Structure 1
Amino acid sequence: MINASGVRIRWRDIPPDVQEGIEKVIGGRVVEAVSQSGGFSPGTADRVRTDDASRVFVKAVNAALNEHSPGLHRREAQVTARLPVGTPATQLLGVYDDGDWVALVLADVDGRHPRAPWDAGEIAGVLATLESLAGHLTPCPIESVPLLPDEVRKDFAGWIRLHEDPWAELPEPAASHLSELVDLSAPSADLLAGDTLVHTDVRADNLLVRPDGSVVLVDWPRASRGCDWADSLLLLVNVELYGGHDVEALLAASDLLARVPAGHINAVLAGLCGYFYDITRRPPAPGLPTVRQFQRDQGDAVLRWLARRLHW
C-alpha cells in the first residue's frame, strides 16, 4: 500500500527572494529547516528554526509545482485564520503571497502523526476529538465556506461514469454490483448536508498527536459546511485502509455515527468508493506521482467495508 506522500521540495529549493519574503513574515532569518513527510503536496513542509531560536512551520508552493496547490494554500489560510478559539488546529501566524509563490507560516506543533496501522488508543482519542470538534463548530462559524453536498456532488457520481465508461480494472464485487452501486450512491451527496464546519480530509497524515495525547487537525483547505458525522466516518475509512480494527464496532461506539441510519452510511460509502475508483483512472497529478495508487488503495478499503455491510 502507498502511504500519503508527495515529492516535496525543501526550504533550500525556494528561490532566495521568496525565502527573504517568508522570513519577513516569520520575523527572523531561517537557520534550520527540517522537511516533514506525509500529505499529498509537492510544496515545502518544513519545521524551521530562526536565528532568535523561534520555531515555526512553513509550507510553500507555486503553480509550477502543481497548478491547484497555490489556491488550496490561499483557501487554507482563509479558513485557518477564522477558526474559533479552542479549535484543535494549528495557528496561522502569517502569509506570504507574491501572486506566484504562496507560503503559510503556522505555529509549530510538538506532535507526530498517529501510528500506522492505527493504535486503538489513538483511534479513541481522535474520535473523541472529532465529536467535541463537531459540537464546537456547530453552527458553522465561517459563512463563506462551500456546502459539502455541492463540493462532492460531481465526485460522488463516479459510479455513473464507471457504468457509462467501463473500467477493465474495476475489482469484484464492484464489477458485479455496478448498477446497484449507481443507485446506492445516488443520494450520497445530499445526505452530507448539515450546519457543521467539517474538515473533510481526516486521515493519519492530517493529524498530529501531542505528547499528552491531545490531537491537532492540520491542513484545512477543503473545509466545508456539512453534517457533523462526516469527519468521523472519514477517520474510520482511514482506519480500514491500514487494517487491524473492527470499524463496525468503532462505528457503533461513536455517539455521532451510531445515530446515523445504516442506509445513509452505505450511500456515503458508496459515493466515496465510486469517487476513488473513478479518479484512479486519471493521469498522475503533477508533482504527486503516488496519489493515484493511494486513491485506489482507499477505494479498495471502502469497497471491503461496504461489501461486508451489504453481505456481498
Structure 2
Amino acid sequence: MSRLAWHDISAPVRAQIEEVLGGPVVEAVSQPGGYSPGSADRVVTASGRRAFVKAASPAVNIDTPDIHRREAAISARLPAAVPAPQLIGAVDDGEWIALVLDDVEGRHPSTPWQPRELAAVFDALQQVGSVALPADVPVADAGDELAQDGVARWRILDADAVPTLPGGLDSWVRGHLDELTDAAAQGVSDARGDRLVHYDTRADNILLRPDDSVVLVDWPWAARGAGWFDALTLLVNVRYYDPRADVEGMIAAHGVFDGMPADAATHVLAAFSGMFLEASLRPDPPRMPTLRTFQRDQAVVTLDWVRERWEG
C-alpha cells in the first residue's frame, strides 16, 4: 500500500486542520499498517498538543473520502463508554475530508495473538456490547451489511470463477456453493441485534495502551447487531496469524460469546468467506496493491474454518 504523507494533503486543508488543533503542526509521523491509501499521521503542534489525523481525496481513492465521512459521523456520536478515540473535529471541503482524533499512546496487539492480550480485547468487546446504543448513532444493520457483503457475493460467484486455493478448498467450495450461499443467507438474521458492532475487528484496528487498556480504532463500518459478532470475526484474524489456534476453545472460554448459537457462528463465517473470496477476484484498487492478496488469505482462513465446522 502507498500511503499519503502529511505534506501530500492539500495546503488549505492542512491549514484548516491546524485551526481545529489550535496551532501549527511541527511534527507528523506517518503510521504504517491498515488498508487505506489516505494519510494517517500522529501529529504534534507547536504548543505540544497531540492528535491523530487521517485524510483522503478522490484522487487518492474514489471510495476513501466517503468512508472517512461515514467514520466522522459515527465517531462524533459514539457513547463515551465505548473504548474509541474521541473525534476532535473534521475538515471537509467537498473534495478532501480529514478526521482529527485523539492521539492514542499504544501499540497493536502482538501477532500471532497472545492469550493475555486476546482476553483483554474480548473484555473490551464485551464492554462495547453492553453499551446502550443511542438511536442517533448513524450505523447500519449488521444483517443488512452481511446480506450485501456476503450473500450477494456468493450468488454472483460462478463455480468456474473459484480460484485455486490450498488444501483442496477450491474443489470443496465448488461442490458446496449452494450450501455456502444458504448458510450465508441464514447468517443475515443471526447477525441482527441491538448492540454496537465495530464490524472490522483485526489487530491493525486495535491499540493496547501501556496500562493494558484497549482502544478500538477505525469505525466507518460500525453497525447494530449481535453482541458476539465482533469477537467471532476477530477469531478469523487470530486464525489468520496462527492456523492451529484453538478458536473453538476460545469461544467456549469467554463470556463475550455467551448466547451465540454454534450454527449462527457458522452462518456468519460462511457469509464472510463469500465476501472475502469474491472481493479477492476483483482488480486491485488504486494505491492498494496488497488488498486482494489479503482478502484471498482471509477467504482461505474462513472457508477452512467453515469446512472444519461442517465436517467435524
For the superposition of Structure 1 and Structure 2, which TM-score range results when normalised by the shorter chain? over 0.9
Query: What fraction of aligned residue pairs are identical, expressed as a percent?
Result: 47
- Aligned-pair CA distance for 1:173: 2.8
Once residues 303 and 187 of structure 2 are traced to their aligned partners in structure 1, the CA distance between those partners, rounded to angstroms, is 15
* Farther-moved stretch of structure 1 (178-187 vs 114-123): 178-187
CA distance in 2 between counterparts of 1:263 and 1:151 reads 19
Contact 2:159 2:177 survives alignment (8 Å): no
What is the distance in 1 between the residues matched to 2:38 and 2:119? Answer: 32
Cα deviations by residue, 1:24-74 (Å, 9 ceiling, x for unpaired): 111111111100011111111100111111111110111111111111111
1:15 Cα deviation from its structure 2 partner = 2.5
Cα deviation 1:259-289 (Å, max 9, x = unaligned): 3221111111111111110111111112211
Aligned to 2:186: 187
1:44 has 2:39 as partner: yes
Paired amino acid for 1:148: A
Structure-2 separation of matches of 1:164 and 1:20: 52
Tell me, yes or no, if the aligned pair for 1:163 and 1:179 is still in contact at 8 Å: no
Corresponding residue number in structure 2 for 1:148: 142
Task: Please tell me whether the aligned partners of residues 162 and 174 of structure 2 are also in contact (alpha carbons under 8 angstroms).
Answer: no
SS at match of 2:200: coil
The alpha carbon displacement at 1:234 in A equals 1.1
Task: State the one-letter code of the partner of 1:181.
Answer: L
CA displacement, residues 160-202 of structure 1 (integer Å, 9 cap, x when unaligned): 2224663243524323322322222221122111111211011
Structure 2 residue runs without a partner (length 5+): none
In the TM superposition, what are the counterparts of 1:5-24 in structure 2 within 5 Å?
A: 6-24=1-19
2:227 alignment partner in structure 1: 228
Structure 1 residues 172 and 247: CA distance shift in structure 2, 3 A: farther
* SS of 1:173 mapped into structure 2: helix
Instruction: Give 2:111's aligned residue.
Output: 116
Q: Is the 8 A contact 1:94 1:106 kept in 2?
A: yes
**Residue 76 (structure 1) aligns with:** 71
Q: Indicate the residue corresponding to 1:128 in structure 2.
A: 123
Q: Which stretch of structure 1 is more off in the superposition, 146-155 or 91-100?
A: 146-155
Using the TM superposition, name which of 174-183 and 277-286 deviates more: 174-183
Structure 1 SS opposite 2:33 = coil
Runs of 4+ with >4 A deviation: none
Alpha-carbon separation, structure 2, partners of 1:130 and 1:257: 10
List alignment gaps of at least 5 residues for structure 1.
1-5
CA deviations 1:127-169 (Å, max 9, x no partner) are 0110111001x34554532211112212212222224663243
**In the aligned structure 2, how far is the partner of 1:262 from the partner of 1:16?**
52
Give the match for residue 3 of structure 1: none
1:304 and 1:213 map into 2 onto residues whose CA distance is: 32
* CA gap 1:248/1:172 in 2 versus in 1, 3 angstroms: farther
Distance in 2 separating the partners of 1:261 and 1:163? 30
Cα deviation, residue 18, structure 1 = 2.0
Indicate conservation of the 8 Å contact 2:85/2:217, yes or no. Answer: yes
Q: In the alignment, which residue of structure 2 is the partner of 1:263?
A: 263
* TM-score (norm. length: structure 2): 0.93
Give 1:242's aligned residue.
241
Change (3 A) 1:48 1:168: closer
Which whole-Å CA distance do the structure 2 matches of 1:261 and 1:174 have between them? 24
Alpha carbons 2:107, 2:209 under 8 Å: kept:
yes
**Structure 1 CA distance, aligned partners of 2:288 and 2:134?**
32
Separation in structure 2 between the aligned mates of residue 47 and residue 141 of structure 1, nearest angstrom: 32
TM-score normalized by the length of structure 1: 0.93
Matches within 5 A, 1:151-300: 151-157=145-151, 158-163=153-158, 166-169=161-164, 171-243=170-242, 245-300=245-300
1:86 maps to a residue whose letter is A
SS in 2 for 1:188: helix
Partner deviation per Cα, 1:97-155 (whole Å, 9 max, x = no partner): 1111111111110101111111111111000110111001x345545322111122122
> Does structure 2 retain, via aligned residues, the 8 Å contact 1:140–1:195?
no
Partner of 2:54: 59
Letter in 2 for 1:252: A
Aligned residues: 306
Structure 1 position 9, deviation (Å): 0.7
Structure 1 segment 77-96 matched on structure 2, within 5 A: 77-96=72-91
